[in-house]
A and B are shown apart, each in its own frame.
Chain A
Amino acid sequence: DAGVTQSPTHLIKTRGQQVTLRCSPKSGHDTVSWYQQALGQGPQFIFQYYEEEERQRGNFPDRFSGHQFPNYSSELNVNALLLGDSALYLCASSSFPKETQYFGPGTRLLVL
């Protein structure tokens, strides 16, 4: 049984570019949450998707957007990249509404 998978594992971009990160949830899960973990900090909640809709959103600007597909997989898009967007981006999957979140290995984004 595959766990949560994320792609790519690493990514290097320059300021002003756009990036798309991908996540496939654990089998049987229908909800995907995204978190940003800056170096030396705990993960910060970005948003959560269920039934292809954004259900909850953290304190992140509109440059951060997402999408969920009918197969429950999800994408995180970040526009107009800033140096401060460099971080580990973690995807977590769960079963709506109250199940435990299980995390993927993350995508490490470096913005130069």
Chain B
Amino acid sequence: AQSVTQPDIHITVSEGASLELRCNYSYGATPYLFWYVQSPGQGLQLLLKYFSGDTLVQGIKGFEAEFKRSQSSFNLRKPSVHWSDAAEYFCAVGKYMEYGNKLVFGAGTILRVKS
């Protein structure tokens, strides 16, 4: 069965510092991978996605993620964090089947940004 692990429940970084959020997945086939961000009380906003091709994926708001098949990882990075990046981040793997598809999410990582 598919699963996604986000090992860090909370991460605190200083504004302007670099950020890496970890994501490990378990999936038998080639994965479709996503990062979403959720501000308090809000829905999920897509940051970036990986379907195939270049393993380094660029997203919105200056985020990027790297797919490493050998490590079953899809870590999210940002070179310089802004206070507005404080939110909860979810990694997800997409299970695509003939008659439909679904996303399997990790438990999320809460990012706090200190000034």
A residues contacting B by CB (< 8 A) are 4, 6, 31, 33, 35, 41-45, 48, 50, 55-56, 58, 90, 92, 94, 96-98, 100-106, 108
CA distance A33 to B108 in the complex (A): 20
How many A-B pairs fall under 8 Å by CB?
65
Q: Is the CB of B101 within 8 A of A100?
A: no
Dominant secondary structure at the A interface:
strand
B31 to chain A, nearest CB (A): 13
Segment 81-114 of B: residues with Cβ below 8 Å from A: 90, 92, 94, 96-108
Known: A42-B108, A48-B100. A100 touches B43 (CB 8 A): no
Contact B102 A45 (CB under 8 A): yes
Question: Are the CB atoms of A98 and B101 closer together than 8 Å?
Answer: yes
Task: Check: B11 CB closer than 8 A to any chain A CB.
Answer: no
A31 to chain B, nearest CB (A): 8
Pick out which of these stretches binds chain A: B13-21, B44-52, B62-70.
Answer: B44-52
CA distance in complex: A104, B42 (Å)? 9
A-B pairs with beta carbons under 8 Å apart, 7 shown: A42-B92, A42-B105, A92-B44, A97-B96, A97-B101, A100-B46, A105-B42
